[in-house]
Structure 1
Amino acid sequence: MSKLADSLPVGVLAGALRFAFGLPAPVRRLITGKPVVLDGQRLHPDAQLLLRLQQLAGQDWDTASPAHNRAALAQSSALVCGPVVEGVGVRPVRIPRDGGEIAGRVYEPVGLAPDSALLVFYHGGGWVSGDLDSHDNLCRFLALEAGVRVLAVDYRLAPEHPFPAAVDDVMVAFEWAVEHAADLRIDPARIALGGDSAGGNLAAVTALRAARAGGPKPVFLLLLYPAVDASSKRRSRELFGNGFFLTDAKMDWFRDHYAPEEASWVDERLSVLLADDLGGLPPTYLAVAGFDPLRDEGEAFAEKLAAAGVPVVLRRHEGLFHGFANVLGLGGIYREAVSEAVGSLRTGLALANSRQDLSETA
């Protein structure tokens, strides 16, 4: 991170960012420069402004070391996540696993009746960074706007805990949620899985493992720009691999820390797109960003789900870049994109409830 980004308190930087977004449109255009058009898409002016301001501040998702990367993500999250979403109660939980515990956090909208649906949410960060705090406001927003309880899972990170440690943790967390439905005050038959980026990968992998296990399964998948294939590079990585927050080089860096053995890159617990049969997965909402190196693999995954008979809604937010779900504090196009995902989650859970009622009366 640059001297400017390091020398000022996060609160001051966040205030300056909000001030810049409140400037008149002509002034914002002077800051951003001419429009960026690539692959038939125009980068949204708000996305272009954010990238330009990050560039001017010298702020980057540092990959000098895992510690630097985690600090950079924590800072950038604090800058753009916005004021704390109110009206949501939060409590910590501890999830037992072999040899230790997994930290979790339960989000519960104030006044929400018992036996609600649950979203088990896995944070992004390339399997190396991110934690309960980096995605706290996003989880608050999802809980409040969708009218559900949310269980956020602090799975183990690489390189200290390489693949498949995170895969094992998130599966344990899902099974724990089913078993402790009464304590969580949720309906075990209405559990959705969700996540962004690496978290989206883990959500899809967990759903596939649950389907293969023959036990309880999630009823809905909420995937935000998921990583689903570590074995190859598609055209979007060439087009958007530099200058749009997540770069091609950073993607290799994350993968190599998480899965240092090349043989694991084709393992379906990492590259879920390569699984032979996706037919057991639940209805899915999958959002990608137009200016994201991960765009094409996410869209390929949606196509494969549809071919397997899985109900899937694919949404490409053409003008946005990777990580937009955490930019709630700047409102506008970012909040609209997350709100659309929330609407899909609400609909998916309502339909799951309707199917459950029909099966009980049949």
Structure 2
Amino acid sequence: MVKSEVGVVSKVKQIWGLVKVLLPEAVVRWLYAGRRTEVAGRVIDPKAQAVSDLVALMRASDDMPTVEESRAQLLAMARKLEQPASESVGTRDIMLPGADGERRARVYTPSGLADTGSVPTLFYLHGGGWVQGAIESHDGLCGRLADLAGMRVVSYDYRLAPEHPWPAAVDDVLACYTALVRGETELAVDPAQLVVGGDSAGGNLTAVLMHDIAVQSLPMPKAQVLIYPAVDARLSSQSMQDLSDQPLLPAARIAWYLNLYIPKGQDRLDPRVSALMSDRLGQQSQALIVVGGHDPLWDDAHAYCDALQAAGVATTLLPFPGQIHAFLSLTKVIPQGNEAIEKTARWLRDVFEGS
């Protein structure tokens, strides 16, 4: 087959892959009957299989883009596949402190709630491997959490590697949290009405922040939300091995992120890198942990849940055994992402209604 014919076949496969992603879940289930991936007894959900197959057609698991390409790819995927928030949610951009100057943040406020008063607030840290991701890539997720949970969400734009390697991001997050709880920003934030949360790398930064809060003897937030968090940089768990070629987050890409984020020679078991190693777990707030069974971080989430519970922290695990990494940001095509957002919002409402 000549090169031009190979290109045509590849294009046709990608188009068919996209069609499968957009079809109703019942149809996709029928198309994949008897052919869905199973790992450690966990069968992947139909639409998650379709998304995984499409990504595999578009990039090799060991083919690393440039940082600029990676950032553009994530933003493009979010714009195409993330369900937007209701128009009733108000948004405005403000500046909040960082460790080395002010950083941009976006405030999401559902209808009927003040955006500057002392109200229930989620301080949100976006994912993206510490290298990519932005307020814009998580705009739909943050807006929908604000709407469904009935609370203000503050999405924070911490510094990214490789321009700003560790500990720039963790220092930014700590500086901003400190200013928020000390009343040094335009937002009135009561720690008793504050939740810290994030996904993936943002879940890591959330867990690290909880460690830092305990070390610094700062007021603890009401709760924490960890969405497929990365908490163990050893990358040696069983799910990390079983899912090393999972197209959404292959092992090669995880290693690429970490190598860009962590300076050479830095101890990766430092609790400000691997929050699972923290000796302050028992001082932390109640937690919700969300994770998918076809995400290499499946075992990270379970290990962290076990560690928090062993330390006496009330921790709820919300597992989706058939789901992939980033599924809460793929809500136009993966229905379980919507379910996870709704359940997370319900948990957040319960946190405040039960207090």
Secondary structure at the aligned position of 1:121 is classed as strand
1:214–1:186 distance in 2 versus 1, CA, 3 Å? closer
Deviation at 1:33, TM superposition (A): 7.2
1:155 paired residue number: 158
Residue number among 152, 160, 166 corresponding to 2:169 in the alignment: 166
Distance in 2 between residues matched to 1:181 and 1:344, nearest whole Å:
29
Q: Does 1:108 align with 2:109?
A: yes
1:115–1:61 distance in 2 versus 1, CA, 3 Å? farther
2:321 paired residue number: 318
1:93 paired residue number: 94
Distance in 2 between residues matched to 1:263 and 1:83, nearest whole Å:
39
* Equivalent residue letter for 1:167: V
Q: Does 1:217 align with 2:220?
A: yes
1:116–1:98 distance in 2 versus 1, CA, 3 Å? closer
* Equivalent residue letter for 1:55: A
Q: Residue by residue, what CA displacement relative to the aligned partner does 1:147-187 show, whole Å, maximum 9, x if unpaired?
A: 11011010000010000000011111212222348843554
Distance in 2 between residues matched to 1:20 and 1:297, nearest whole Å:
28
Q: Does 1:176 align with 2:179?
A: yes
Contact 1:46-1:333 within 8 A present in 2 as well: no
Residue number among 235, 242, 246 corresponding to 2:245 in the alignment: 242
Deviation at 1:296, TM superposition (A): 0.7
Deviation at 1:213, TM superposition (A): 1.7
* Equivalent residue letter for 2:225: L
Q: Does 1:44 align with 2:45?
A: yes
* Equivalent residue letter for 1:325: L
Distance in 2 between residues matched to 1:194 and 1:151, nearest whole Å:
10
Distance in 2 between residues matched to 1:302 and 1:346, nearest whole Å:
21
Distance in 1 between residues matched to 2:211 and 2:289, nearest whole Å:
15
Deviation at 1:316, TM superposition (A): 1.7
TM-score normalized with structure 1 length: 0.87
Distance in 1 between residues matched to 2:178 and 2:33, nearest whole Å:
47
Distance in 2 between residues matched to 1:248 and 1:58, nearest whole Å:
14
Distance in 2 between residues matched to 1:19 and 1:247, nearest whole Å:
22
Alignment of 1:243-258 (within 5 A): 243-258=246-261
* Equivalent residue letter for 1:198: A
Deviation at 1:330, TM superposition (A): 2.4
1:204 paired residue number: 207
2:71 paired residue number: 70
Distance in 2 between residues matched to 1:304 and 1:267, nearest whole Å:
16
* Equivalent residue letter for 1:151: V
Distance in 1 between residues matched to 2:90 and 2:143, nearest whole Å:
9
Secondary structure at the aligned position of 2:268 is classed as helix
1:82 paired residue number: 83
Deviation at 1:243, TM superposition (A): 2.6
1:118–1:36 distance in 2 versus 1, CA, 3 Å? same
1:10 paired residue number: none
Distance in 1 between residues matched to 2:306 and 2:353, nearest whole Å:
24
Distance in 2 between residues matched to 1:45 and 1:276, nearest whole Å:
40
Alignment of 1:116-131 (within 5 A): 116-131=119-134
Q: Residue by residue, what CA displacement relative to the aligned partner does 1:296-355 show, whole Å, maximum 9, x if unpaired?
A: 12211110100000000112210001111111222522200121111112212333xx2x
1:266 paired residue number: 269
Contact 1:62-1:69 within 8 A present in 2 as well: no
1:110–1:244 distance in 2 versus 1, CA, 3 Å? same
Residue number among 296, 300, 323 corresponding to 1:297 in the alignment: 300
Q: Does 1:233 align with 2:236?
A: yes
Contact 2:25-2:46 within 8 A present in 1 as well: no
Distance in 1 between residues matched to 2:55 and 2:44, nearest whole Å:
15
Deviation at 1:85, TM superposition (A): 3.0
Gaps (5+ residues) in structure 1?
A: 8-12, 355-362
Identity %: 37
Structure 1 window deviating more from structure 2 (139-148 vs 175-184): it is 175-184
Deviation at 1:51, TM superposition (A): 1.7
1:17–1:108 distance in 2 versus 1, CA, 3 Å? farther
* Equivalent residue letter for 1:199: G
Contact 1:90-1:105 within 8 A present in 2 as well: yes
Secondary structure at the aligned position of 2:267 is classed as helix
Distance in 1 between residues matched to 2:22 and 2:99, nearest whole Å:
47
1:45–1:27 distance in 2 versus 1, CA, 3 Å? closer
1:279–1:249 distance in 2 versus 1, CA, 3 Å? same
Contact 2:42-2:322 within 8 A present in 1 as well: yes
1:146–1:40 distance in 2 versus 1, CA, 3 Å? same
1:357 paired residue number: none
Contact 1:61-1:73 within 8 A present in 2 as well: no
Secondary structure at the aligned position of 2:193 is classed as strand
Deviation at 1:248, TM superposition (A): 0.7
1:306–1:29 distance in 2 versus 1, CA, 3 Å? same
Distance in 2 between residues matched to 1:56 and 1:147, nearest whole Å:
39
Distance in 1 between residues matched to 2:155 and 2:262, nearest whole Å:
23
Structure 1 window deviating more from structure 2 (336-345 vs 318-327): it is 336-345
Residue number among 325, 328, 332 corresponding to 2:331 in the alignment: 328
TM-score normalized with structure 2 length: 0.88
Secondary structure at the aligned position of 1:221 is classed as strand
Q: Does 1:136 align with 2:147?
A: no
